[in-house]
A and B are shown apart, each in its own frame.
Chain A
Amino acid sequence: MTRKQKRGVLIGGGVATLAVALILVLFALKDSVVFFHTPSDIAEKGVPSGQRIRLGGLVENGSVVREGTTIKFKVTDTLKEIPVTFTGVLPDLFREGQGVVAEGVLDGDGDFKADSVLAKHDENYMPREVANALEERGVKLGSGAHPSGAKTETP
């Protein structure tokens, strides 16, 4: 092979790899990205049932019902609420009145079937998406629940 051909192989290989990677990335961004919504977002915009989303808000006081390993509770942003069903073990920091992010799908009746529940948050018991979303909606949070100031950082 001449020098020119070798360079051609090199450049061709590079372009081909990048093209494959680009296609993979575009498909993955289309299919596997999960959007975050609050109950009010869902009430306003409507989210098709079966689409994977993250639902964030506060666990409504008095709404938690345990039936064996299945837990039912309501997620609220104080304006709207969505009933959630989850089977599994809840994270340590899950509690009523505190922020939570559930990932899963809405069924046809407007119930949310969660397959994971996160209560990862800062020292003020508020996941940052939830705090930001609630602030945008003008919901008054206690002074301790401001979204800035994450202390639960991993070094």
Chain B
Amino acid sequence: MIIEFGHFALILALLVAVVQVVLPMAGASLKDERMMRVAEPAAVSQFILLAIAFVALMHAYVTSDFSVANVAENSHSTKPLIYKMAGVWGNHEGSMLLWVLILALFGAAVALFGTNLPPTLRARVLSVQASIAVAFLLFSILTSNPFLRLVPAPSDGRGLNPILQDPALAFHPPFLYTGYVGFSIAFSFAIAALIEGRIDAAWARWVRPWTLAAWMFLTIGISMGSWWAYYELGWGGWWFWDPVENASFMPWLAGTALLHSALVMEKREALKVWTVLLAILTFSLSLMGTFIVRSGVLTSVHSFAVDPARGVFILAILILFTGGGLALFALRASEMQTGGIFQPISREGSLVLNNLLLVTATATVLVGTLYPMALEGLTGEKISVGPPFFDSTFGPLMIPLLLALPIGPMLAWKRGDLAGVMQRLAFAVLAAIIAIVATYAVGHRGPWLAPFGIGLGVYVMMGAIAEWASRIKLAQAPVSESIRRARNLPRSAYGTLLAHFGVGMLVVGIIATSAYREEHILVMKPGQTLSVAGYDVKFAGFESGRGPNYREDFADFDVARSGASIGRLRPSKRLYDAPPQPTTEAGIHASWRGDLYLVIGDSQPDGGYAVRAYFNPLVRFIWLGTLIMFLGGGISLSDRRLRIGVPAGRGRRAIAVPAE
């Protein structure tokens, strides 16, 4: 009964979304306030209906109602509760329901918190947002309906893929989706502005907080996914340039560019046309990511052609919104006034460089992701484009970006003084040189370029601090004056500081762990000791245990460093009951220096075990860096919210807002 209720709510949400597309848009053209006002209650009720549908499905999972096909195919009665709940989005149909739920969440948020928007713009934004919802609700109901019944109901379900049975499943997909579905708001704003035919600095001021929120969640979502892959897959790798990863990384790159270009537009009224285009492209990449992950094109280009319902449907959505958006852009963009003149060496100039490099980097990732699919589709030739491709295309493009990163925020708007900036960055450059020399002294094994990579990361980190130091006149003014200035700096300045500092940390972590990783593969027998990166790892013995729905064989390793015991690591192999599939669990000892990472393999005829031991130096910097970027975004957002209602001096914000 509850499941039918959820099914009904899903269909009702579609009808509400249709109304939300038509009436507000018509009302905005006819200047009919009553029709425009339909948008807000429609957006909110659409969200509530989808929340009901979502809770209904989750109820079926929690109560193990195997008469629901989706539950029978993806759940099992012995699965722990957390995986029953998170299992809702651990499959195609459920994750599409989460997708539309988050889409509706953003729409409802604009309806509730966007009260300072001009009414016609708000009506149009919500209308465009609802049109995306209509497309995906149709997709969900017609091709991926999670509420279909199964007759007769099986006695138990098929179970969830054991690799997904991890606490990270509860957090990673919702954060990731909040991120890349969140860019839909930027898209809706762009389309609404193109329909209005008018765009100004105020537009950027409205769009930026939404884009920033989406970017934050995408950042942390991708980072969590990387961490999950790192500890779960047992390969010690944290990024594989897999199409599924690229699907969320491309919107992140474009979204990062969008954040920066919207800044120029907000402050200087320049790059207007470009920013609108970027908003369309960013969400288009989100749609493409959805297509790549959800259409079955990854499983095989051929199976996509054999069972085309889903794939063709999403492809149609992708073409409709991307093509429609770009066509509208082509028609209307020329009418928009360009503004804000600036010299190449200026804050604007540096942000243009940022955009140029980020967008080009996005394009290289796009080529590397789509080329194998296109080639297989066209010629039948099967190829794989792996990390070497991305290392030699994406990598080089990041170097100028990182070199310019600390310089940009120090340049003045309109006309900057590069020599003056370099003077203020002397400290960061010095720190980088010290880091390069120190890395050469310590890590003599790695590739010769690696120390420069570390130096680059340190330069970015210290550059962020140098910018802050120069703004508060640290060591140039009395301490009390510096403290006063530090207090008066807007929160967005601290947000930038943290986000840029986090990028530097991320770079240091990536380079250190890629270039200086230590790897041992050997056969060990109980009692034997292995020495890895200063740790003594002694194989103590074996133990078997049982988890809630699996059998587990542990290998116990006693770890000591220069004689002092650190503790016991217990890498293991699990065999799940349903589906009967093995997984490898790594034993990890984390420290600032890096991670000691142990995995066990096959048993040998002579009683030994294959053991893989890694030392991944500074690998935690990768996730810590992204966490700091996320926090930076949050601090910046808290600043924006305070200022969001304040009328802007320059923007044409003085449009009459009717009393509500």
Contacts and interface: CB of A to CB of B under 8 A. Distances in A.
Contacts of B600: 89
Contact of B521 (A1, A87, A147, A149): A87
A96 to B, nearest CB: 13
B492 interface: no
> Which of B95, B356, B579 has the largest number of chain A CB atoms within 10 A?
B356
Interface in A128-155: 128-129, 131-133, 147-155
B383 A123 contact: no
Contacts of A1: 343-344
B522 interface: yes
The CB with the most chain B CB atoms within 10 A, among A24, A122, A149, is that of: A24
Interface in B598-621: 599-602, 604-605, 610-612
Given A29-B371, A31-B388, A129-B382, A18 B244 contact: no
B209 interface: no
A50 to B, nearest CB: 16
B393 A66 contact: no
Interface stretch (B212-220, B302-310, B548-556): B302-310
Nearest to B573: A92
A36 B344 contact: no
Contacts of A88: 521, 601, 612
B90 interface: yes
Given A25-B364, A35-B382, A92 B584 contact: yes
Interface stretch (B32-40, B50-58, B292-300): B292-300
A32 B392 contact: yes
Interface in A61-113: 66, 68-69, 87-93, 103
Given A24-B393, A89-B601, A132 B302 contact: yes
A93 B583 CA distance: 8
Interface centre among B169, B303, B357, B381 (most CB of A within 10 A): B303
Nearest to B294: A153
B523 A93 contact: no
Contacts of B360: 17-18, 21
Interface string B348-372: 0000110011001101100110010
B89 A155 contact: yes
Contacts of B323: none
Interface in B158-212: 161, 163-164, 169, 172-173
Contacts of A90: 601-602
Interface string B394-435: 001100000000000000000000000000000000000000
Contacts, number: 150
A69 to B, nearest CB: 5
Interface residues of A, number: 50
A93 B582 contact: yes
B18 to A, nearest CB: 28
Contacts of B63: none
B385 interface: yes
A9 interface: yes
B91 interface: yes
A83 to B, nearest CB: 19
B300 A148 contact: yes
B296 A150 contact: yes
A143 to B, nearest CB: 15
Contacts of A155: 89-91, 95, 164, 169, 172-173
Interface string A22-41: 00110111011111100000
A32 B388 contact: yes
Contacts of A151: 161
B149 interface: no
Nearest to A21: B360
Contacts of B95: 155
B356 A32 contact: no
Contact of A69 (B90, B367, B523): B523
B612 A128 contact: no
A128 B300 contact: yes
Contacts of B368: 25, 28
Contacts of B164: 154-155
A150 B293 CA distance: 11
Interface of A: 1, 3, 6, 9-10, 13-14, 17-18, 20-21, 24-25, 27-29, 31-36, 54, 66, 68-69, 87-93, 103, 122-123, 128-129, 131-133, 147-155
27 contacts: A1-B343, A6-B341, A20-B397, A25-B364, A28-B388, A29-B367, A33-B389, A35-B383, A36-B383, A36-B384, A68-B604, A69-B523, A69-B610, A88-B601, A89-B521, A89-B610, A90-B602, A123-B161, A129-B382, A147-B299, A148-B303, A148-B306, A151-B161, A153-B244, A154-B244, A155-B172, A155-B173
Given A68-B522, A88-B601, A89-B600, 9 more contacts: A3-B341, A6-B341, A24-B392, A28-B368, A28-B389, A33-B383, A69-B610, A150-B298, A155-B91
Interface of B: 89-92, 95, 161, 163-164, 169, 172-173, 225, 234, 244, 293, 296, 298-300, 302-303, 306-307, 341-344, 352-353, 356-357, 360-361, 363-364, 367-368, 371, 381-386, 388-389, 392-393, 396-397, 521-523, 573, 579, 581-584, 599-602, 604-605, 610-612
